[in-house]
Chains A and B, each alone.
Chain A
């Protein structure tokens, strides 16, 4: 039974990936829509970032002095100036650990 629902979930997920790539042609998207679509990364990824930082595993808002907030700020600053993915992730993690363990 669980296998069946995994297969259904897999088919649904594949459809979300395939639909727009395989079934939409360039002419169907006008210039205005394309201009809006240029914002997709900025319009999607914060929905992953914000809850992962501000809401804990139990679905509750964290305190403002939570180490995750500090880690995220460090990562933003380092990422902005270094333009380097590894530096961004590591600086965020390390500053988070420093607050967490010391």
Chain B
């Protein structure tokens, strides 16, 4: 049985490699806000209030393109609706927590943290303080996101744009799911998701990011039915 501290540290270590993509992305996100002419406090405020990389950039781009605040906020909500799926997966492991603790830990649920903690949870179901792993991944991501967006705001885009560091984002997610390529059912689900994300890319409010997971979860349900 691991202690709370051990689990927290394990979470930090599991998420640390992903900082390779999170930190450049944070810098880009902060710098874009300033380049688009937004108040620095506003750009930084988003990192605390919204705390969701891609959705923050979309928000800034929409507002600077003349969209209404309502449209921009709706887009953020749609883009981040994928967290509902993460929550549904995590709820099984977090159900022993008090309601207040659930409310607090929810703020820390982010793509990469969910992915790494979910992997850990699946292998260590019997641990008593499992949630400390999620706190470890989530708070590491939070701290790095705050520092890197702040760095981008203050220093501007000191990472040259020609380097194309945004490409580190898909790579981080490739690293997360690449081992599931061993399983044919997962490969089918991934392809369904990827292809539908390209097909629905122009759907309003960036909704491809939730439409394609729903489509591919239906595909997963079909696969499960055939397996029996």
Contacts and interface: CB of A to CB of B under 8 A. Distances in A.
* Chain A bound to chain B: yes
Interface of A: 1-10, 12-14, 16-22, 24-26, 29, 32, 34-55, 59, 61, 68, 71-72, 75-76, 79-80, 83-86, 88-90, 92-93, 96-97, 100
A13 B55 contact: yes
Contacts, number: 271
Given A21-B105, A50-B198, A12 B80 contact: yes
B174 interface: yes
B59 interface: yes
Interface in B82-100: 82-92, 94-95, 99
Contacts of B173: 45, 48-49
A20 B164 CA distance: 36
Nearest to A68: B167
Interface string B173-208: 111111111000110011111111110011000001
B83 A6 contact: no
Question: Helix, strand, loop or mixed for chain A's interface?
Answer: helix
A85 B17 contact: yes
B9 interface: no
Contacts of A89: 17, 20-21, 168, 171-172, 175
B77 interface: yes
A93 B76 contact: no
A26 B224 CA distance: 21
